[in-house]
Structure 1
Amino acid sequence: MQTHKIGIIGAGGIALAHLEAAKGDPRAEIVAIADVSTEMAGEKAKQYDIPHVFADYEEMLSQSLIDAVIVCVPNYLHAEAATKALAAGKHLLCEKPMAMNTEQAEEMIDAAKKAGKVLMVAQNNRFRSQAQQIKAWLDEGRLGSVYHAKTGWVRRNGIPGWGSWFTQKELAGGGPLIDIGVHMLDLTLWLLGHPKPVSVLGQTYAQFGPRKRGLSEWGRRVDNGVFDVEDMAVAMITFENGFSLTLDASWASHIEKENAFLHVYGQEGGVSFSLLEEQLTLYHEWGGVTATTELSPPPQKERVLLLSNFLDAIEGKAEALCTPEQALYITRLIEAIYQSAQTGEAVRL
């Protein structure tokens, strides 16, 4: 069995998800972790028996310790870390969002092509059993012609790390749209085969963050920091094939509870999926009678499957399920939503 020596760039909270996932595939050997906070990196190293700790990830890349890298740093550092890792000859798994903008995303793709290495973006929700079931139904034509979808991720009190990089546009690229909305936008459009977009209309709001309301325990709060992103974004996107999509993303809002959802509307059937509650419902007809079928596909460890697919792609056994070109597609749409919100006009693509 081939093994892969992997280095982690960034020892923050999301690194834990990847470190746990590595336990699920014996081919993955985490041998190094780098973070400017050597204390935080050292804690992770001790917890997961990682032999090498670096304060500077470039020093880690310069050595022959690793052949692959997982990037877990704040958004504004994704492109820089990725291009340097690829230039150093390392395969790369990058946390979402791929980059702050399309220019950075294109630079990452060019770097991967030049290096001849795998570049994959960690859109783990594609690997959920419910998502795979919906994909099978769509591919089989079970829903007929799909004409509309509603999707989103909304929270009641979920603003992360007020005042930290999470809430600074220069460092994060935006608020909940690029943080959690990207998950549902990616999942929905992957399921539907990435149709060609025509127009994007978006609006953003900041009703809670400026008042330090709707905060969560995630991330490190910086009371003298900055909040200059949205705490809610909404969008409507139309596509060349006549399909339309609406998206909601919020960190804080007066709602019953947090929900990450997807509703797909087809001529022959519809699907409703609650990601957090892992509920999947098919709305259809049976013998001319309206029918509702609730399904419970066995849960899967989607981040283990994500990592295994990344390793399979490195070994040439499978194609990466989350390609950088698809991540660039999503980046363009997010950029267009923010542009529309800023100008007050629809963006034509």
Structure 2
Amino acid sequence: MEPVRIGIIGVGLIGKHHIQQYSAIEGVEIAAVCDINEQEARKTAEQYQISSVYSDYRQMLARDDLTAVDVCLHNNLHAEATIAALQAGKHVYCEKPIAGTYRDGLTMVEMAQECGKMLHIQLGTLYRNETKAAKTLIDAGKLGKLYHARSTGFRRRGRPFVDGYGSRMFTRKEFANGGALLDMGVYHIAQLLYLLGMPEVARISGKLYQEMDMDPKRREESGFDVEESGMGFVRFAGGVSMDIIEAWSLHLDGFEGSSISGSQGGIRLPAYSDIHPKSAFSYHTTICDMDFDSTLDLNAMSERRHRLNPDEDAYDSSSKHWVAALQGRVGLLPTAEIALKTMLISEGIYLSSRLDREVAADEVAELSYLTAEKEI
């Protein structure tokens, strides 16, 4: 099989992480890297033995030997680079969130369809063992009728830059267009949408906060104008609901993990927190009028699946799934559609908080905008 030749757009922290992931996958060649910081691009190319370096991604897209490109830019730059790559005949893997706005994301999805190319969004939670176990139970009907989900994510004090790590670009609407919801919440909301079967969003309400103390100098340097925590409630068509709480920073000692409730059973997913160790996956049901709380050896489940399914490795991570799809080994999961619906919910929370009322999904879509046409 010919190697899959990939070009990387953006060699910051995320771009380097993607390169490292590809380096562990057989049949992949990173053929080129591109960054407006040409010095950093050349340094990265030398480190990972990549032959070609560009400072203008459009020059890289003119190559006819690239199968796909990987977009690792700030949120508000995703749409422009992705659309250009699709129009150049390349499949595209894009870092989460799908874009800075719902309208940007929708344009990306529509362009991929128009060009007949694959668009894949990095949603790492879809490949976790607990997600696979939960989906297996749900698909087998062990939860019965699903009716409510809870999406949670917690950091004690983990705001980018102002709390001592990461880039100030994460904290400014100019580049990111959002804070905790678009950085962390994307993973948890997308995971639950996938498990719920992608129900249609009907109405959204929410509230954003930036209340905790910050180092004054860091606040000024960062231009911090996004939320450090966001809360929301979503009503889906068919009666399913979801509540959301996502915090970069909060005076508590952690949250319980995300969960799904059904008429015949419920699932608790592990909590991901910088305070407490990871909690366990658990399944809850009633059998013969007795209430059962069950745990599962996820590692044993994964090992058995790898022994029985020759393509199980294609679901070990987002990057492995992408390469397997490019190789034609498996069909691509609908990550672009999941990410787009996640963006609709996130933008709905932003709009609801701004208007101080519940908003309809159609209203969110109508008021969304292309970042290229509007100053943030």
2:4–2:327 Cα contact (<8 Å) kept = no
* Cα offsets for 1:206-248 (capped at 9, x unmatched): 1137x338x9xxxxx7852311111110001111221111001
Per the alignment, residue 199 of structure 2 pairs with 195
What is the rounded CA distance, in whole Å, between the counterparts of 2:344 and 2:6 in structure 1?
A: 30
CA, structure 1 residues 2+261, in 2 after alignment: closer, same or farther (shift >3 Å)? farther
1:1-349 matched pairs, under 5 angstroms:
1-162=1-162, 164-208=168-212, 211-212=214-215, 224-257=221-254, 261-274=257-270, 276=272, 277=278, 279-298=280-299, 305-349=317-361
CA, structure 1 residues 45+322, in 2 after alignment: closer, same or farther (shift >3 Å)? farther
1:291 Cα deviation (Å)?
Answer: 1.5
Question: Greater CA deviation, 302-311 or 129-138?
Answer: 302-311
* Cα offsets for 1:236-284 (capped at 9, x unmatched): 1111221111001111111224x68311112221111115326211112
2:8–2:30 Cα contact (<8 Å) kept = yes
CA, structure 1 residues 114+267, in 2 after alignment: closer, same or farther (shift >3 Å)? closer
Could you say what secondary structure the match of 2:221 adopts?
coil
Question: Greater CA deviation, 121-130 or 318-327?
Answer: 318-327
CA, structure 1 residues 307+243, in 2 after alignment: closer, same or farther (shift >3 Å)? same
What is the rounded CA distance, in whole Å, between the counterparts of 1:24 and 1:169 in structure 2?
A: 34
What is the rounded CA distance, in whole Å, between the counterparts of 2:295 and 2:3 in structure 1?
A: 40
1:183 Cα deviation (Å)?
Answer: 0.8
Instruction: Write the letter of the residue equivalent to 1:285.
Output: T
Could you say what secondary structure the match of 2:175 adopts?
helix
Question: Greater CA deviation, 321-330 or 115-124?
Answer: 321-330
1:128–1:302 Cα contact (<8 Å) kept = no
1:303 Cα deviation (Å)?
Answer: 8.3
* Cα offsets for 1:30-72 (capped at 9, x unmatched): 1211112223323332332222222222221122342211111
1:195 Cα deviation (Å)?
Answer: 1.0
What is the rounded CA distance, in whole Å, between the counterparts of 1:291 and 1:44 in structure 2?
A: 52
CA, structure 1 residues 260+15, in 2 after alignment: closer, same or farther (shift >3 Å)? farther
Structure 2: segments with no counterpart, 5+ residues = 273-277, 304-312, 362-376
2:153–2:271 Cα contact (<8 Å) kept = no
Per the alignment, residue 275 of structure 2 pairs with none
1:19 Cα deviation (Å)?
Answer: 1.7
Could you say what secondary structure the match of 2:323 adopts?
helix
Give me the CA root mean square deviation. 2.3
Per the alignment, residue 373 of structure 2 pairs with none
Question: Greater CA deviation, 9-18 or 88-97?
Answer: 9-18
Instruction: Write the letter of the residue equivalent to 1:198.
Output: A
1:24–1:304 Cα contact (<8 Å) kept = no
Instruction: Write the letter of the residue equivalent to 1:261.
Output: G
1:178 Cα deviation (Å)?
Answer: 1.1
2:172–2:225 Cα contact (<8 Å) kept = yes
TM-score norm. by structure 2 comes to 0.84
What is the rounded CA distance, in whole Å, between the counterparts of 1:32 and 1:261 in structure 2?
A: 40
What is the rounded CA distance, in whole Å, between the counterparts of 2:13 and 2:262 in structure 1?
A: 38
What is the rounded CA distance, in whole Å, between the counterparts of 1:302 and 1:251 in structure 2?
A: 31
What is the rounded CA distance, in whole Å, between the counterparts of 2:45 and 2:314 in structure 1?
A: 23
User: Alignment length, in residue pairs?
Assistant: 341
TM-score norm. by structure 1 comes to 0.90
Instruction: List structure 1 segments (4+ residues) > 4 angstroms apart after TM superposition.
Output: 299-304
CA, structure 1 residues 198+111, in 2 after alignment: closer, same or farther (shift >3 Å)? closer
What is the rounded CA distance, in whole Å, between the counterparts of 1:327 and 1:230 in structure 2?
A: 20
1:196 Cα deviation (Å)?
Answer: 1.6
What is the rounded CA distance, in whole Å, between the counterparts of 1:212 and 1:241 in structure 2?
A: 46
2:128–2:316 Cα contact (<8 Å) kept = no
Could you say what secondary structure the match of 2:333 adopts?
coil
Could you say what secondary structure the match of 2:257 adopts?
strand
1:71–1:92 Cα contact (<8 Å) kept = yes
1:25–1:304 Cα contact (<8 Å) kept = no
Percent of aligned positions that are identical = 31
2:161–2:222 Cα contact (<8 Å) kept = no
1:235–1:337 Cα contact (<8 Å) kept = yes
1:182 Cα deviation (Å)?
Answer: 1.0
2:71–2:81 Cα contact (<8 Å) kept = yes
